[in-house]
Amino acid sequence: MQHHVEAIGHMERVVAEAPVWSITQIKDQLGAWERVYLVFVDVLKGFCDVGPLASPRVREMVKPVSELAQTLIAQGLPTENIIFLNDDHPADAIEFTAFAPHCVQGTVEAEVVDELKPVFDAPGVQLFRKNATNGLFGVNREGVRFCDWLDQVFAAGPSSFIVVGDCTDLCIYQNAMGIRLLANQVNAQTQVIVPVSHVRTYDLPVETAEQIGAMAHHADLMDTVFLYHMQLNGIKLISGFTD
């Protein structure tokens, strides 16, 4: 037990000590905003506002991610370099055997939160609809899979991806890791950045979980373990941004 406590304490310190970066630091590493990409993962009403999986804790990241997008665009990030990976499930999605039905195609839950709609509607912004927690095989409006689009980006030269949204231990972890591992596979000079201040997961205490027959989900623990594990795998963990 003592070993477990020490391990968790170590992970908490690593996450707490993540550095703060300036907004321009990312661009300066590559010399141009054209090689920087902002990836929104599931910043949807079904996880923030309405439905069985909506979480007030998850909603905490909406304001930071919206402000980040506005700042990056003002600094020169092309709107074509903004990507939304959005749940967009059919009514009979196999994923619903693990999670309550959510973000079904054409419903309010599948909509981007109101704060991000101006960004979502900006010219050139890319949408990849996904039917799984991992969006690598999600498809855009032209029928191109996200993994194939990434291959094109990697082939064009060094790049940086900032991944924000929810949930830290599910879709953030799987999609940030997906980008990181695909870049590793093709030996691409790609940096994947996850800002702690711009991701969240939901909380479901043990007592409540037992009452409703669900699996408990300790938000602080899950955030810590999965943020730590992302850094362990070469993802750059930062605490947040300065202007």
- Token pair listed for 8: 């968790």
**pLDDT above 80 (res 243):** no
For the record, the structure tokens of 59 come out as 């909603």
**Percentage of the residues of the chain whose pLDDT score is greater than 90:** 88
Residue 126's φ and ψ, nearest 5 degrees, are -105, 135
What pLDDT sits at residue 118?
98
The answer to whether residue 3 scores a pLDDT higher than 70 is yes
Cβ neighbourhood burial of 172 (10 Å; 0-12, 13-18, 19+): buried
- What band does 80 get if pLDDT is binned at 50, 70 and 90? very high
pLDDT of residue 1: 67
181-184 contacts: CB < 8 A, separation 24 or more? 181/233, 182/136, 182/147, 182/150, 182/151, 182/154, 183/150, 183/154, 184/234
On whether the CB atoms of residues 146 and 159 are closer than 8 A, the answer is no
Q: Which tens digit of pLDDT belongs to each residue from 113-157?
A: 999 999 999 999 999 999 999 999 999 999 999 999 999 999 999
If one compares 208 and 78, the residue with the highest pLDDT of the two is 78
- pTM higher than 0.85: yes
Residue 212: count of CB within 10 angstroms of its CB? 7
Name, in order, each residue with C-beta under 8 angstroms of 189's C-beta and a sequence gap of 6 or more.
Answer: 157, 158, 159
Dump pLDDT digits (tens) for 27-76: 898 989 999 999 999 999 999 999 999 999 999 999 999 999 999 999 99
Is the per-residue pLDDT at 14 higher than 90? yes
Quick one: which H or E segment has residue 166?
A: strand 159-166
- pLDDT at residue number 72: 96
